[in-house]
């Protein structure tokens, strides 16, 4: 039945594959980063589009035929929130054009563009944007979540660097939302994450001159050295210039397999000397801390920072997130003795702006953030290990509870308690989001919240 229904949509869009067709399973799996969830849900169809007009046609078709619509940018959400049972998965990944206005320091980009190709194209014009830390994160959901990326300590959250957003509403209307026009949609699109109730198709970005260089310093220690490092780490973070990104990562060391703390401190600058100075407070850790291998400092182009943040894809995943205003050393102490059951799993304690919280827009749905974000990422291969890995994520999350001030909507596990969503917004912002959704999407066409 659904297959016949979707025949009518085929001439209007780039590609529509409905359940039961030979390519359907492959297509459904391909559009979702988390392999644990890729195989567990099935929409009625996956529809790929090449333009806002095709998005509008899909939305009108869905409304007429009683399907819900779930926009998908890059499919990286840890809970695979774009992948639902039933309805249309609207794949926006091919909307990836980049038009740069170098003089105006702006660009209009399709939502599907990924961080690395965007950075490369901007760098060729001498420009930059605070893209996400991993190479393949699409701007789409990243910016709608808020977006805490490279050099966000200097430039603010990604959503603080957007002037206007093109989107298609539940009524099938194509609009350009900004602070002056459709201001409520613009407010919601900057931070609502999986709670957004329209399909964004393009972002009008504010850009920055490309930093001359970045500098990164990295050292690994035995996790048992956390007590020797904690106060020093807190003091070094306080001493580093605002904007220096301080990352403290717990995982199985790549050479020895030992449960390790990896410190990675990075900064951008107009010269190598300037960038190197910003990480200087970290380069002399207490000698009593047991190092694994040698520390390493390197200058690298802004576009190569991605290489410092590899995350394997094709894994089964469980993740969660906490914001905290506690000192980095205290957070390290809270979680350092909880090794993961899988070698690919990590706990990432990241003070994106060092001792200064990342700037967020004054008037946007992104209303909860903090000085430091702690991402808990369980990654493994064998379905038989699902429960032990998910239990580890919960255990680390519980250890962070005394320090938690909120959660990031882009990484928190919103599939757990229903109250989780309320931890991602101020009460006023969540009430405003709900009210706007009822107004702009009264029939609940868009599938919101995982």
Q: Which residues bind ligand FAD (CB under 6 A)?
A: 33, 70-77, 81-82, 92, 111, 132-134, 137-138, 140-142, 144-145, 147-149, 193-194, 196, 199-200, 311, 410-411
How many Cα atoms occupy the beta-carbon half-sphere of 355 within 13 Å? Answer: 14
The residue among 44 and 411 lying less far from ligand FAD, judged by its C-beta, is 411
Written as six digits, the tokens of 317 are 């995943």
The residue among 286 and 310 lying less far from ligand FAD, judged by its C-beta, is 310
CB-based contacts of 449: which residues, under 8 Å, 6+ apart?
A: 81, 194, 195, 414, 421
The residue among 135 and 229 lying less far from ligand FAD, judged by its C-beta, is 135
The residue among 148 and 249 lying less far from ligand FAD, judged by its C-beta, is 148
The residue among 193 and 357 lying less far from ligand FAD, judged by its C-beta, is 193
Whether 113 and 139 have beta carbons less than 8 Å apart is answered as yes
Terminal C-alpha separation, the chain: 26
The residue among 192 and 327 lying less far from ligand FAD, judged by its C-beta, is 192
Burial of 69 (0-12, 13-18, 19+ CB in 10 A): buried
CB-based contacts of 439: which residues, under 8 Å, 6+ apart?
A: none
Whether 205 and 98 have beta carbons less than 8 Å apart is answered as no
Smallest separation (angstroms) from ligand FAD to the CB of 288: 33
The residue among 141 and 361 lying less far from ligand FAD, judged by its C-beta, is 141
Written as six digits, the tokens of 421 are 């969503």
Smallest separation (angstroms) from ligand FAD to the CB of 239: 25
In the beta sheet, which residues pair with residue 317?
379
Secondary structure in 3-state letters for 219-269: EEEEHHHHHHHHHHHHHHHHHCCCCCEEEEEEEECCCCCCEEEEEEEEEEE
Smallest separation (angstroms) from ligand FAD to the CB of 309: 7
Smallest separation (angstroms) from ligand FAD to the CB of 432: 18
Smallest separation (angstroms) from ligand FAD to the CB of 157: 8
150 in the Ramachandran plot: left (φ > 0), alpha (ψ -120 to 50) or beta? Answer: beta
Q: Of 70, 85, 79, which is closest to residue 32 (Cα–Cα)?
A: 79
- Report in angstroms the alpha-carbon separations of 139 from 34, 200, 439: 18, 11, 26
Smallest separation (angstroms) from ligand FAD to the CB of 400: 18
Smallest separation (angstroms) from ligand FAD to the CB of 334: 22
Smallest separation (angstroms) from ligand FAD to the CB of 187: 14
Smallest separation (angstroms) from ligand FAD to the CB of 316: 13
The residue among 74 and 370 lying less far from ligand FAD, judged by its C-beta, is 74
Give CA–CA dist 193/11, Å, rounded: 31
Give CA–CA dist 6/1, Å, rounded: 9
The residue among 74 and 285 lying less far from ligand FAD, judged by its C-beta, is 74
Smallest separation (angstroms) from ligand FAD to the CB of 388: 21
The residue among 55 and 223 lying less far from ligand FAD, judged by its C-beta, is 55
Report residue 202 CA to chain centroid gap: 17
Give CA–CA dist 415/421, Å, rounded: 9
The residue among 147 and 406 lying less far from ligand FAD, judged by its C-beta, is 147
Burial of 289 (0-12, 13-18, 19+ CB in 10 A): buried
How large is the angle between the packed helices 328-335 and 226-239, nearest 10 degrees? 160
Smallest separation (angstroms) from ligand FAD to the CB of 148: 4
Q: Under DSSP, is residue 70 helix (H, G, I), strand (E, B) or coil?
A: strand
């Amino acid at each position: 039945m659904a297959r016949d229904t979707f025949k009518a949509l085929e001439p209007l869009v780039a590609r529509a594959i409905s359940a039961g067709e030979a390519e359907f399973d492959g297509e459904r799996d391909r559009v979702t980063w988390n392999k644990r969830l890729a195989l567990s849900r099935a929409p009625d169809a996956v529809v790929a589009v090449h333009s806002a007009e095709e998005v509008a046609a899909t939305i009108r078709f869905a409304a007429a035929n009683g399907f819900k619509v779930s926009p998908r940018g890059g499919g990286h959400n840890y809970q695979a929130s774009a992948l639902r049972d039933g309805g249309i998965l609207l794949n926006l990944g091919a909307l990836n054009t980049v038009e740069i206005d170098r003089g105006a320091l702006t660009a209009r980009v399709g939502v599907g563009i990924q961080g690395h190709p965007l950075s490369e194209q901007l760098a060729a014009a001498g420009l930059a944007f605070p893209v996400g830390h991993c190479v393949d994160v699409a701007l789409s959901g990243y910016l709608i979540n808020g977006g805490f990326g490279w050099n966000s300590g200097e430039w603010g959250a990604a959503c603080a660097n957007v002037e206007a957003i093109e989107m298609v509403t539940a009524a099938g209307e194509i609009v350009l939302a900004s602070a002056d026009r459709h201001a409520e949609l613009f407010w919601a699109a900057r931070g609502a994450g999986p709670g957004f109730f329209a399909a964004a198709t393009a972002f009008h970005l504010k850009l920055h001159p490309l930093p001359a260089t970045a500098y990164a310093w990295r050292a690994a220690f035995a996790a048992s050295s956390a007590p020797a490092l904690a106060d020093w780490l807190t003091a070094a973070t306080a001493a580093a210039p605002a904007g220096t990104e301080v990352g403290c990562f717990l995982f199985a060391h790549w050479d020895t397999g030992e449960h390790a703390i990896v410190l990675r401190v990075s900064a951008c600058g107009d010269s190598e000397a300037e960038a190197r100075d910003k990480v200087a407070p970290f380069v002399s850790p207490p000698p009593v801390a047991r190092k694994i291998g040698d520390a390493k400092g390197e200058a690298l182009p802004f576009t190569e920072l991605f290489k410092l943040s590899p995350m394997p894809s094709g894994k089964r995943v469980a993740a969660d997130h906490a914001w905290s205003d506690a000192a980095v050393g205290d957070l390290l102490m809270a979680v350092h003795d909880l090794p993961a059951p899988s070698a690919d799993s990590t706990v990432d304690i990241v003070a994106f702006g060092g001792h200064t919280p990342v700037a967020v827009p004054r008037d946007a749905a992104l209303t909860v953030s903090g000085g430091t974000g702690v991402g808990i990422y369980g990654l493994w291969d064998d379905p038989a290990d699902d429960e032990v890995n998910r239990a580890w994520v919960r255990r680390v999350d519980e250890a962070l509870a005394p320090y938690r001030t909120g959660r990031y909507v882009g990484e928190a596990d919103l599939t757990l308690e229903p109250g989780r969503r309320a931890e991602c917004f101020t009460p006023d912002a969540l009430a405003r989001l709900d009210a706007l959704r009822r107004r702009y999407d009264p029939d609940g066409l868009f599938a919101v919240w995982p």
